[in-house]
Structure 1
Amino acid sequence: MESFFWSVGMVFEPKFSECRKGLTKVAKLITIIDDVYDVYGSIEELEQFTDAVERWDINALQHLPDYMKICFLALYNTINNMAYDVLKEHGHVILPQLTKVWADLCKLFLKEAKWSYNKQIPKFEEYLSNGWISSSGPLLLVHAYFLMSQNITNEAIQSFKTYPSLLRFPSTIFRLSNDLSSSKAEIERGETANAISCYMHENGVTEEVAREHLTSLIDENWKMMNKELVSNSLFDKSFIEIAINLARIAQCHYQYGNAHSDPNDVSKNRILSVIIDPIQL
């Protein structure tokens, strides 16, 4: 339900119901794969899984442990089916773009897993340059663009190779909002690298000062993102609005803790009020 709530927050218009269904599947896959990298996999297993995703080769299954075989096959079939539907309905070949964003995500998940395994705290800028992509924001937005199936252009498709600023700004807000809410739980789990710990370690400041810095960065990224609304863009206004909605739902989701992995009563009630409970007249 949390994954669907996220999809509704990004794309709420009734006409985009198929987009919401697809994004919900993508969000669940992200959650499962993130847990594989954070909790379950050894470094050697994670390297094998990352290689399988990067190659996008079904034959790589034979080299994976059983629990990873199920995970990879679910990813492989789901994304191939999405690419097939877009090709059939709209004539665009998008599988290379979809597999690239998944490979990029897994490579950065692996990098973060190695930081954790080696008890390494990277420089803040290195962490954030990795973290805004590993937030999964760019991956969600690339899938949303194609699942909307509106005004797909070759120029926009090519721009995804280098992750344009329209993807970077909301994804940075996503990452920072996540870290502001989840840092304590991550440290207790043994993870050493998050935005707060990296900034504290590099600058020798308190947690309070680090949190203030992250909040100011969120404000800066909102200002830059709002400029996208009035600037010339490869993307139409509907997709720009979805990118902005990603930042909105991220801040909503992490306002009172991590509403995805450890929802409290406030977060649960928010989700129920949107999806389950009828509107009181």
Structure 2
Amino acid sequence: MKVEAQIPHKSNNHRDPTLLREECLYFSLAHADHISPLLQFLDDLTDLPRFRRLEMNVQSVLLQYLSHLMKLFSDSRSKKLYDDLAVYFCSHSSSYLDYSPEQRSMLRMLFWKGICKCLVEVVSEETDSFSYVKKCIEWLVPLLNLCNDGQPEFVDEWSAAIKCLIVAQKSWSSDMLQVHSTTSLSEGEHVDAARKIIIRARLCFAGCVSALELGNIKTTILSTTADGVWWNVLVEVAAAVYSADNGIKKQWLLDALDIGCVTAHPSTQHLG
């Protein structure tokens, strides 16, 4: 991996300590496979107590090169790395919460990108590392925020997440995105259901998930009141179904009309 070649030229000021630390990190990533002290340096940097104190730009580099770190580390050390990152991003007492919402989203986006590269280059369902990578994805999905109208709050983060889920194993990602009836859900659970359906709709639109699978939760989608976040759920599902063949689109229309006749607060009240 040509890490050194990817060092960004952010500044002509070589005395900039921020840039200098980044260049040291890139150098370490490039040569740690044959220089033990550099490997130890990366090991120390990615240990949670140290990682949480790093500047955000250094954290960003480490997240981007997650796949390279996995190639350098043993399986047990890689597992610890993922466990530490899960704690960092999901703990209610994490220093990560000191960042602004935009900064937190950027770090999560880079984590998604790093995981995606791991799934492409390092991890497969047959490897031991698959279980802890999967666990991190399951922790990250609920952090994909929605605005009050159901629109994804941070577009770049959502885009990175969808790209990662596209390359993830279909079998377990489908289980992770299971949605049950929204009838008796709390507001938080309602948003979580909306998030999962939007993800499934985008995977369907990308050709990763069949529109038939989306049809399995058709009743839940169409029998929920179309207000708040749910309006955008309908928009996302409509975009996904639009790319399906005519037979599936016709069945969706017929089912929408049917559900609209028997449901107290159908989403289909806006049909037409």
Q: Which has the higher contact order (CA 8 A, sep 6+)?
A: 1
Considering fraction of residues, name the structure with more helix.
1
Structure with larger Rg? 2
* Structure 2 length-normalised TM: 0.31
* Structure 1 length-normalised TM: 0.30
